[in-house]
Amino acid sequence: MQMIFSAAIRRLLWNNIIAAAIIAMAVADHHRPPYGRTYETPAYHQPQAYTPAYHQPPAYGSYEQPHAYKAKPYKEIPECSKNSTGPYCLSDAEYPLYEIQDAIKTHKYGFLELYADVADLNTKNSVDRLNELVQETYLCPSETIYARPLRSINSDGKWRIIVNNVKVDYDDFTQTVRLETCQTAGKKCPLVPDCYDTKCVQKHVHHRFLVFDAYDHYFPFAIESFRLPASCACFTEAFDIEH
């Protein structure tokens, strides 16, 4: 009798677990954010027919005259890098602020178009990174800052001047990025028991910035990609071997 009774309870429990799992899946599905997987096809990719004529990319050559900058010869490795521990400068005594302001005034239309483009991307990146935060940041100590770098090393390994904290008339042009740096990269993950072979690993993202290139006298702005510290993950050796 007792045997039959406990088997019935077990079956009842099992049914409850399955029901709970089904509910959990339904809830998870329901709570999936509406923006999931939509990054690849941004809303502004409208068919060409709907694009009003005035949204066409400006033909810079037709009305923007080449502008003679008093471009100083820039060093391959800027002075400010000596004051910085990362691949970027957050302060820079040699930042060419007046040249950038001058260039923005001269090329305002083309500049604003590029600026709108990186501002849009920045918003998407910050949403994207929330997932990483939840999954990865707890096991290794890290430092997170929201920064406006003035210079950084691009994906080709070249130092670039980033348009940041530049006021022109009533506009303030800024580009903020979230930087998360491992405090103990390469060391054991401190919160994981010693019996596991683990390691804190610095992870990076490619972030796009609007940069100023004083040497391009024709149109001295461009969007370039920068590899920046984005999160601090804990890996086990087994995981390392698999990948």
Residues of this chain that interact with ligand NAG (CB under 6 A) are: 79-80, 83, 91-94
**88-89 and 166-168 strand pairing:** unpaired
| C-alpha–C-alpha distance, residues 164 and 152, integer Å | 12
Min CB(161)–ligand NAG separation in Å = 12
Q: Are 154 and 202 in contact (CB under 8 A)?
A: no
Min CB(90)–ligand NAG separation in Å = 10
Q: Are 205 and 131 in contact (CB under 8 A)?
A: no
The smaller minimum CB distance to ligand NAG, of residues 149 and 205, is found at: 149
Min CB(94)–ligand NAG separation in Å = 5
Helices (H) and strands (E) in the chain, counts: 5, 9
User: Alpha helices, DSSP H only, in the chain?
Assistant: 2-30, 60-63, 97-106, 108-136, 237-242
| C-alpha–C-alpha distance, residues 115 and 98, integer Å | 18
The smaller minimum CB distance to ligand NAG, of residues 11 and 158, is found at: 158
| C-alpha–C-alpha distance, residues 106 and 97, integer Å | 14
Tokens (6 digits) for 181: 């740096």
The smaller minimum CB distance to ligand NAG, of residues 91 and 126, is found at: 91
149 forms beta bridges with: none
Min CB(241)–ligand NAG separation in Å = 43
Tokens (6 digits) for 197: 């072979």
The smaller minimum CB distance to ligand NAG, of residues 83 and 123, is found at: 83
The smaller minimum CB distance to ligand NAG, of residues 151 and 199, is found at: 151
The smaller minimum CB distance to ligand NAG, of residues 93 and 241, is found at: 93
Min CB(27)–ligand NAG separation in Å = 52
Min CB(91)–ligand NAG separation in Å = 6
Q: Which residues contact 117 (CB under 8 A, 6 or more apart)?
A: 210, 223
Signed CA dihedral, 135, 140, 145, 151: sign only? negative
